[in-house]
Amino acid sequence: MNSEAHSSNPSHSAGSFELIERVANRLVGAAFSPHRHDTYTVALTVAGVQAFNYRGAMRHSLPGQVLILHPEEVHDGHCYDEDGFSYRAAYVPPTHVQAVLGGAELPFVVNGVSTNPALIAAVFNMVIDCAGVEDPGAYEDALYDLALAMNNASGRAATVRIANRTAVMRAREFLETTVISGARLDQLEQVTGCDRWQLSRDFRALLGTSPYRYLQHRRVDLAKRLLREGSKLAEAAHGAGFADQSHFGRTFRKAVGLTPNEWLRSDLFRTIIL
């Protein structure tokens, strides 16, 4: 019996939030006895089959499926077969979720396991994409997507309201001036005078993306320009405001569909921007 914990470290979240714990673990033969957390357990099954008792029934999570366990709900965990299973998880405090939902009842994913595509994408972002990323905006963005995906998966309708276009345009203009230095939601709140989470909702409604991802796209645009002007990859990454070349590579591929090296070798590198 063994449980190989690849990592179990607190991860930096946004400046206004306490640290959260993220883990990457492989379980073979071992088992977790019944226990509970005072946080949401948000997990992605990477390989094998997770088996666990939750709310009076045996549940199973297959590779690519996600677990959303509500705070204070008793659960255990064991291997479905001798091959064991691997998972990535984050423990998200309800106070963080409430910051996004603004006092609404906490979402409850009844069965604990979900195949909802939007929820899977949000969990993947939380436990893998933004893990280890120092930029506080990455956590804010992942938290927003997760909270809304959980809310939708639990069957609760979002409140419909008219977006604040003036605040969104002001935020966009500010982001254009902070491509290299970066910007957090609390800064956008100060610039626009609009609640950060409402601003994030309105920004998505009017511009089709989040403030964080808008900034990442502008950084990719700047990196492309620097590469076209002859900068090396490391120079372009630094010059466009990325923390390191690894972060630059991941973000570039998400935005372009190619790694920076693949893009440099393609005809897209020679595309003339009019």
Q: Sketch out the chain's domains with CATH numbers.
A: 2-153 (2.60.120.10), 165-208 (no CATH), 214-270 (1.10.10.60)
Residue with tokens 């206004």: 16
pLDDT score of 268: 65
Instruction: State the average pLDDT over residues 23-31.
Output: 86
pLDDT score of 51: 93
Residue 7 in this model has a pLDDT that exceeds 80 = no
Mean pLDDT of the chain: 86
Residue 5 in this model has a pLDDT that exceeds 50 = no
Q: Which of 143, 140, 199 is nearest to 169 (CA)?
A: 199
Structure tokens at 101: 């939902």
pLDDT band at 59 (very low <50, low <70, confident <90, very high): very high
User: Phi, psi (5° rounding) for residue 121?
Assistant: -65, -40
Residue 12 in this model has a pLDDT that exceeds 50 = no
Q: If residue 221 lies in a helix (H) or strand (E), which one and from where to where? A: helix 211-228
**Cβ–Cβ < 8 Å for 40, 92:** yes
Instruction: State the average pLDDT over residues 221-229.
Output: 92
Q: Residue 118 corresponds to which amino acid?
A: A
Residue 157 in this model has a pLDDT that exceeds 80 = no
- Of residues 48 and 255, the one with the higher pLDDT is 48
pLDDT score of 72: 87
pLDDT score of 256: 82
pLDDT score of 270: 61
pLDDT score of 1: 36
Q: Residue 203 corresponds to which amino acid?
A: F
pLDDT band at 189 (very low <50, low <70, confident <90, very high): very high
Give the whole-angstrom CA distance, residue 85 versus residue 28. 7
Residue 82 in this model has a pLDDT that exceeds 50 = yes
**Cβ–Cβ < 8 Å for 72, 110:** no
Highest mean pLDDT, choosing among 6-20, 102-116, 140-154, 195-209: 140-154
pLDDT score of 160: 63
For the entire predicted model, the pTM comes to 0.78
Give the whole-angstrom CA distance, residue 34 versus residue 54. 9
pLDDT band at 91 (very low <50, low <70, confident <90, very high): very high
Give the whole-angstrom CA distance, residue 149 versus residue 164. 22
> CB count, 10 Å around CB of 2?
9
Residue 115 in this model has a pLDDT that exceeds 50 = yes
Give the whole-angstrom CA distance, residue 262 versus residue 85. 34
Q: How distant, in Å, are the alpha carbons of 48, 86, 132, 212, 218 from that of 75? A: 19, 17, 28, 35, 44
**Cβ–Cβ < 8 Å for 131, 181:** no
**Cβ–Cβ < 8 Å for 73, 52:** no
Q: Residue 206 corresponds to which amino acid?
A: L
The pLDDT tens digits for 134-149 are: 778 889 999 999 999 9
Instruction: State the average pLDDT over residues 225-254.
Output: 91
Residue 158 in this model has a pLDDT that exceeds 70 = no
Residue 203 in this model has a pLDDT that exceeds 60 = yes
The pLDDT > 70 percentage for the chain reads 90
Give the whole-angstrom CA distance, residue 270 versus residue 72. 56
Q: Residue 109 corresponds to which amino acid?
A: V
**Cβ–Cβ < 8 Å for 19, 95:** no
pLDDT band at 10 (very low <50, low <70, confident <90, very high): low
Structure tokens at 215: 């900034």
**Cβ–Cβ < 8 Å for 144, 197:** yes
Residue with tokens 């009844």: 110
